[in-house]
Amino acid sequence: MLEGSGPNDSTRDSRRFTGWIVGLTALGVVTRLVALLLAGDLEPYADESNYLYLALCWNRFSVYSDSALYLWPPGYPFFLAVFLRVLGAEGVFAAKLCQVLLDAVVGATIMLLARRLFKRAAALVAGILWCGYVPLIGFTHYLWPETLFLAVFLPGLYLFVDWWLESATGCATGRKLMTAGLLIGLSLLIKEVGLWWCAVLCALILWRDCRQSIVGAVARSALFMLSVMVVVLPWTLRNVEVYGRYAPVGATLGQNVYFGMNGFYANFDYPPAMNRKLGRRPNWFSRPADEIWARSPALNIIDRSAENAARGLQFARERPMYMLRTRVKKLADWATPLSFFIRHCAMDIYGGALSKGGLRRLLIIAALIMPMLVMGGAIPGFFWALQVPGARTLVGWSLLYFVPVTALINGMSRYRIVIEPLLIVLAAGFVVRLARVLRGREKVAFPIAACGGAWLVLVLLWLINVEESTTMIREAW
């Protein structure tokens, strides 16, 4: 090799990789734009109507109200309110178009995260998976906050992962940690699911860094937490002023506990009629006798949420075996490879070309198979392919937080969307490492016990819901 050719080759490789990132991102955006145009005029369903109502009230009365059952964070209603204020009724389509464009941030960050945790090849595999991942595509033309949330949350997650791995070598900067905190704090104003995850991250910083310097560990942990709080605190004070109660970003836990920890069964991946039928059918997950606890009558939404959470916990303490059985069911609901796209097809909500037989059936197959492949591939991706020092600790604790916190309260596929980009990254890492092994470039011991045990649990969870899944597929077909 001639002297000086190394850096030039590296620059060309970097430009080529950047070109692939841009190309795959553009392909994913075009795919989502086509899906938006083919979806037709979708009638708002369930919480979509509530988000629109909150946005319209904000524009008409200059007041952000609660929805009687939830005090949602203000981010997504504000997002819709801006488009409705400027464009009127056409603002609904404009908001969906903006979500399509914002998903470019999601796709690009997924690829960058895959490169940081694995290799460049993993980034390309992750990009290809993201381009055709039907459940994520669906949320770009729904009026749910998932796409907006991921467009803010994932860059914050990427920056934190980058800081975490660099800080292990002493190369990290506080500015990167602070920016990650600001973005994660902003994401909490869209969905509050990661509120206590921030505390987990602070605990991880203290646990790892206190062995070198307690003062430094406390300083870095405090910098991250303060960066989150500087975004969240103004809205917390607003809630105190309006409701006289402290609620950092919203009050949604109580209503989720009402649906998830009660004497009836509800999974919002299914149409309402199917939920009612499942609730009446005797099985291993049936309710104890005819006992159902009612919602709190409190008029203050924050008090109502707190009382509902307390009623659910009391119900759980009094019926431990019933709660254990139903938590297995909720975990199965989280892991079952259904999605809102399949539900929309089953309920004939789509009115455009996506309602036609051939295309719809092809997308239903993709919507079913892709989550199965990603969840199955993420297991060896975590236990086998993830080799960057320190990465498994951070990723593992994040998975332990996001899966139980969502699934063990009220499981459905929508709650999986929050962590699905990370599962795509792990699955891509597994594909790339497996390819190297098959080509003979690598010989490593495969963790059969860990992966085999996790695969067995995953398959058992799928089997628990196999009857409901086949019913949904049949109705959507």
pLDDT per position as a tens digit, 395-430: 999 999 988 777 888 888 889 999 999 999 999 999
- Residue type at 10 in one-letter notation: S
The segment with the largest mean pLDDT, out of 171-180, 223-232, 405-414, 440-449, is 223-232
Q: CA-to-CA distance for 78 and 51, rounded, in angstroms?
A: 9
**Would the CA dihedral through 209, 211, 214, 216 be positive or negative?**
negative
Does residue 304 form part of some domain? yes
Are the CB atoms for 377 and 427 separated by under 8 Å? yes
Q: What angle do CA 61, 62, 66 make, to 5 degrees?
A: 85
Mean confidence (pLDDT) of the chain: 88
Would residue 29 count as lying in a domain? yes
Q: Is the pLDDT of residue 446 over 60?
A: yes
Report DSSP letters for 44-73, one per residue.
P-THHHHHHHHHHHHHHHS-----SS-B--
Q: What is the pLDDT of residue 286?
A: 59
For residue 129, is pLDDT > 90? Answer: yes
What percentage of the chain reaches a pLDDT higher than 70?
A: 94
Q: Which domain holds residue 388?
A: 15-476
Residue 5: band (very low, low, confident or very high) from pLDDT cuts 50, 70, 90: very low
Domain for residue 415, yes or no?
Answer: yes
pLDDT at 284: 60
Angle between helices 448-464 and 466-476 (to 10 degrees): 60
| % of the chain exceeding 90 in pLDDT | 50
**For the chain, how many residues are written?**
477
Work out the number of other CB atoms within 10 angstroms of the CB of residue 61.
Answer: 9
Give the C-alpha separation, 29 to 137, whole Å: 9
DSSP result, 143-179? SSTHHHHHHHHHHHHHHHHHHHHHHTTT---HHHHHH
Instruction: Let me know: does 144 contact 193? Beta carbons within 8 Å.
Output: no
For position 163, what pLDDT does the model report?
92
Whole-number Cα distances in Å, 162 to 112, 229, 235, 392, 424: 10, 21, 29, 13, 18
For residues 29 and 99, give the distance between their C-alpha atoms in angstroms, rounded to a whole number.
10
How far does Cα 440 stand from its chain's mean position?
Answer: 36
CA atoms of 413 and 340, how far apart (whole Å):
7
Residue 133 is classified by DSSP as -
Give bridge partners of residue 456 from the DSSP assignment: none
Number of Cβ within a 10 Å radius of residue 137: 26
Q: Domain count for the chain, please give it.
A: 1
- Cα separation, 339 vs 19, whole angstroms: 32
Q: For residue 462, how far is the Cα from the chain centroid? A: 20
Provide the 3-class DSSP secondary structure of residue 421.
helix
In a domain, 352, yes or no: yes
DSSP character string of 226-238: HHHHHHHHHHHHH
The answer to whether position 40 is within a domain reads yes
Measure the CA–CA gap between 408 and 404, rounded to whole angstroms: 5
Average pLDDT of span 24-40: 92
C-alpha 286/C-alpha 282 separation (Å) is 6
Give the mean model confidence (pLDDT) for residues 182-194.
Answer: 93
The answer to whether residue 8 scores a pLDDT higher than 80 is: no
Question: Do the domain assignments include residue 381?
Answer: yes
Fill in the amino acid letter for 397.
W
Rounded Cα–Cα distance for residues 134 and 128 (Å):
12
pLDDT tens across 273-295, in order? 777 777 666 556 655 555 788 88
Q: Is residue 6 part of a domain?
A: no
pLDDT above 90 (res 210) = no
Angle at which helices 146-167 and 91-117 pack, to 10 degrees?
20
Burial level of 32, CB count in 10 A (0-12/13-18/19+)? buried
Is 99 within 8 Å of 92 (Cβ atoms)? no
Mean pLDDT of 69-98: 92
Q: What is the pLDDT of residue 2?
A: 40
Six-digit token pair at 362? 């092809």
Task: Answer positive or negative: Cα dihedral of 259, 265, 267, 273.
Answer: negative
pLDDT score of 203 more than 90: yes
In a domain, 4, yes or no: no
